[in-house]
Structure 1
Amino acid sequence: MTGAAALRALHHGPGLPLVLPGPWDAGSAKAFADAGFPALATPSAGVAAALGYADGEVPPDEMFAAIGRIARAVDVPVTADVEDGYGLGARELVARLAEAGAVGCNLEDGDRTTGGLVDADRQTDRLAEVRAVAGDALVINARVDTYVRGAGGVAETVRRGRLYATAGADCVYPILAPPEELAELAAGIGLPLNALAVPDGPAPRELGALGAARVTFGPWQQRRAMAAIAAKARELRGGG
């Protein structure tokens, strides 16, 4: 079974979500894999922070290099958040993901230039191009930014999710969707749904019960790790 097939097979559906920790470097990736997680999902914001950049400002070469270090450190499938694809054509994007060792990716429909959303038909064409180039060798998680951008609720998210399904997406990620709307979104879109676990929000199992087939954490695990390091640094400084 290829890495993409193995990752795809882990999507069992709502009730038993695939929990994907978010490593930001090789060390954190190895820690998560050693703990027994069957797959990992790199967060663009967490990787950016680890590299010393703001979210969305990492040069593509550095991002793919970081993904490569993470993928090489573990023996489990790695899916990578590559934001909007960095303006790369489908063929180059798929090639660079494969070179880095990633078997899946997030592709978002938020427009970082305008602060709105990319036209849904244009994003559908983009996803279809990536699928045509990658074949079955890439698990595509189509991120829908309607809730992030304040550009529509359930109806628009379902409309976009259905379009992305026709383009060959394996799953849909309505980032920051209210937990109480997950079941309606999952039923309306008809693909495995990715939910974001946030601090003080529902736990992964709860998100699964609400309709999520997979759960990711964005940059929160990296931020918590750095907060723990900062606290230890203050303790050491105070004791010195």
Structure 2
Amino acid sequence: MTFKSLHQQPVPLLLPNAWDVSSALAYAAAGFPAIGTTSFGLAAAGGRPDGGRASQQATLALVEALRALPVHLTVDIEDGYSDDPEGVAAFAAGLRVAGINIEDSADGELVDPVVLVAKIAAIKRQAPELFVNARVDTYWFGRQATVERTLERARAYVAAGADGVFVPGTIAPADLRSLTGGVEAPVNVLAHPTLTLSELGELGVRRVSTGSLPYRAAVDAAVRVATDLRDGATPPAATSYHAMQERLVRFQETKPHEG
């Protein structure tokens, strides 16, 4: 199936977000047809806070490593890592992936929607087949966090060429239904704290991202392993060293060799 068609199924596409090669390989082994990246996970793994275009180099390196995977790859590029629409478009096109996620905020603040409109239009001119998921950060930052203001931004991005709209943040079911019914593009949300995948689908949501949740849960699990062992517990079950090593060996063998 094409990446776009995965957004047109009865149940929303669940998109797990990877922060390194091993997490992406594990998602692929679990049968996920598409994998995203997480800017928070990439920045945090390198010891930097999210935002401020901190994830650019790590994102490039991870994308380069993951192109050999037989899955659709969509990449979180924050705000495009530039204020120049043509520069953003060149960067996005050069990734050679199925999709990108690009947001309408910078340094923790919403930007004028015309800024993202210009970037989306430039991207679609340079890479018309790239699935552009336009992230609306109204609910995420609690600013202009109404259905009306969010739809104003979302509709402008779709008119500019966006293929999907991402509205992160905890959103009431009634507002979700209004958002999905008010924009002519698949709506993406983060995994909801109280609604299941099927329930989100009934509200019109077509894609659900894990975001940085798996990365944060993995850090918690690592601490729990160490503290449990310190406190006298037995080691937990986990994928064996040999199984993960074999997965990495096979992955290296599938990667194209330079020269």
TM-score range, shorter chain: 0.7 to 0.9
The structural deviation recorded for 1:63 is 2.5
**How many pairs align?**
230
Partner of 1:61: 57
What do the CA deviations read for 1:59-111 (whole angstroms, capped 9, x no partner)?
52232112333x23621011011110111644544444455443211110013
Q: Is it true that 1:7 corresponds to 2:3 in the alignment?
A: yes
Aligned equivalents of 2:206, 2:105: Cα separation in 1: 22
Q: Is it true that 1:206 corresponds to 2:179 in the alignment?
A: no
Q: Which moved more, 1:60-69 or 1:164-173?
A: 60-69
What do the CA deviations read for 1:119-176 (whole angstroms, capped 9, x no partner)?
122321221111111111x110000011123223100111111111111100001111
Q: Is it true that 1:228 corresponds to 2:217 in the alignment?
A: no
Partner of 1:158: 151
Q: Which of these two proteins has the greater Rg computed from alpha carbons?
A: 2
SS in 2 for 1:6: coil
What do the CA deviations read for 1:4-23 (whole angstroms, capped 9, x no partner)?
x821121115x410110111
SS in 2 for 1:7: coil
Aligned equivalents of 1:237, 1:152: Cα separation in 2: 45
TM-score between the two structures when normalised by the length of structure 2: 0.81
Residue 140 of structure 1 aligns with an amino acid whose one-letter code is: V
Aligned equivalents of 1:177, 1:151: Cα separation in 2: 14
Partner of 1:146: 138
Residue 142 of structure 1 aligns with an amino acid whose one-letter code is: A
The structural deviation recorded for 1:24 is 0.9
Which of 184, 201, 213 is the matching residue for 1:190? 184
Contact conserved, 1:29 with 1:73, CA < 8 A, in 2?
no
TM-score between the two structures when normalised by the length of structure 1: 0.87
**For residues 28-43 of structure 1, what are the structure 2 equivalents within 5 Å?**
28-43=23-38
Q: Is it true that 1:168 corresponds to 2:164 in the alignment?
A: no
**Ranges in structure 2 where 5+ consecutive residues have no aligned partner:** 234-259
Give the 3 Å change call, closer, same or farther, for CA 59–172 of structure 1 in structure 2.
Answer: closer
Query: Alignment RMSD, CA only?
Result: 2.1
Q: Which has the higher contact order (CA 8 A, sep 6+)?
A: 1
Give the 3 Å change call, closer, same or farther, for CA 93–227 of structure 1 in structure 2.
Answer: same
Contact conserved, 2:90 with 2:126, CA < 8 A, in 1?
no
The structural deviation recorded for 1:177 is 5.1
**Ranges in structure 1 where 5+ consecutive residues have no aligned partner:** none
What do the CA deviations read for 1:204-224 (whole angstroms, capped 9, x no partner)?
222112221000011001111
The structural deviation recorded for 1:235 is 2.2
Runs of 4+ in 1 over 6 A off after TM superposition: none
**For residues 48-197 of structure 1, what are the structure 2 equivalents within 5 Å?**
48-57=43-52, 58-69=54-65, 71-72=66-67, 74-87=69-82, 89-97=84-92, 99-112=94-107, 115-136=108-129, 138-149=130-141, 150-176=143-169, 178-180=171-173, 181-197=175-191
Percent of aligned positions that are identical: 38
The structural deviation recorded for 1:239 is 4.0
